[in-house]
Amino acid sequence: PRLQPTPALSFATRYLGCAIGINVTASHNPSKYNGYKVYGPDGCQIASEIADAITKAIEGVDMFDDVRTMPFEDAQAAGFATYIQEEVLDAFLDAVYDQHVEQEQSDLRVVYTPLNGTGLECVTRILERIGVTDIHVVEEQSKPDGNFPTCPYPNPEIREALECGIALCEQVHPDLLLATDPDADRVGIAVKDGDDYQLLSGNEVGVLLLDFICRMRKENGTLPEHPVAVTTIVSTSLVDPVAAKYGVDMRRVLTGFKYIGGVIADLEQQDEKERFVFGFEESYGYLAGTHARDKDAVVASMLICQMARYYRTLGKNLYQAMQDIYREFGFHHNRTVSYAFEGSAGAETMASIMTGFRSQPLSEIAGYKVEQFLDYQQGVGGLPSANVLEFDLEKGNKVIVRPSGTEPKVKVYLFTVGESASEAECLADVLSSAMAVFMK
């Protein structure tokens, strides 16, 4: 009877034994990007073949003549529609709570913003359940509002979306700023470093969470034998040494959380789903546990707060904890640069860019030799075909190019490694300039 997070739909589809779950959302985008997200009975986003069949069926419907409507109240009275009962949401939160990994109940001061989306109820309820009650909600961003009046683009990846939260932080001085995107399947954070607040990237939070979950589960004896973690081909290589430290089988899949959900489904078919400990995308999507088969900002918010509380006992914040990991495994820098191409002409330009790279693969980028060129459209490592190109450069650096699946953009992912943060960032600048020449 009220808006709830997208991961609650993934959970409810399985919990209620439904054949399908449907969510219409643009998430952090303007309404013109509204998408039709569909979950199958396993709670995973549907495979491409089913999506293509649904698209074909939609195209066969005349939106003016073929769509039948009736008042919702009449549909309820006739038994065609019913609201989901509260027990489903309670069960979802119980399943999220089952993923907690530390018993520390000392309070943590948190500033939280749902960015005018759906996260407020579930996030505050789960935080209170783990003993985090000192929560300061950004009032002007607390209620759902698809017009997003406080910022033009409520994406927790960008600082502009967090400015209202940062302003509140300057008043209440929290340990952590937490921001869930409007459909509450992704979460961004910021912590005070010196005089300003540092935003941690999706890759950084993913690495921190993997390390923290494995560390705590190893200490309390709940880390399974042969644990499995999953990330995507465009996520940081820094997860590999962290996973190896704990004996975790680190698997990579194509971009899209449905592929991470697919790994869980495969493990479930082998009666080994307990081996799954964590999955994440560089675009701020995280999942611990198998209660959902999609990214879940509710469970991620809980674990991030537990992690912040743990490091506070060591006299550190999450930014400082991340610097420790860099010093241990090397300074990895990741950057995503997007190039927009609107309209039908833009679609043709995007296709031309990808065709150009395929017909004449680069032998070097900014003076760095291409040691390996991978075309995922041909199938790589048993993964499904995908319109993705990868250029593996010398010295552990890498460039990946792919068209976005949800926006009219070509995305360029830059991966650099340096002996210092500034060295890795400077190299990313150089690679970014070199790739920009081709995005025309």
Q: Respond yes or no: is residue 338 known to be catalytic.
A: no
Would you tell me how many other CB atoms lie within 10 Å of the CB of residue 101? Answer: 22
Would you tell me how many other CB atoms lie within 10 Å of the CB of residue 281? Answer: 24
20 and 41 in contact (C-beta within 8 Å)?
Answer: yes
Strand order in the sheet with 331-340: 331-340, 409-418, 398-403, 389-393, 368-375, 364-365
Write down the catalytic residue from 27, 201, 235, 237: 27
Q: Which helix (H) or strand (E) element contains residue 228?
A: strand 228-232
The 8-class DSSP code of residue 151 comes to -
318-329 and 297-313 helices, crossing angle to 10°: 80
Instruction: Give the whole-angstrom CA distance, residue 396 versus residue 330.
Output: 11
Only one residue has tokens 């010295």, namely: 395
Listed as own residue / partner, the contacts of 69-73 with beta carbons closer than 8 Å and 24 or more positions apart are: none
Whose CA is closest to 322, among 415, 428, 212, 230? 212
The 8-class DSSP code of residue 332 comes to E
**How many residues comprise the chain?**
440
386 and 233 in contact (C-beta within 8 Å)?
Answer: no
How far does Cα 75 stand from its chain's mean position? Answer: 36
Only one residue has tokens 């009962």, namely: 85
3-state secondary structure (DSSP) of residue 44: coil
- How many Cα atoms within 13 Å fall on the side-chain side of residue 64? 0
Residues annotated as catalytic are 27
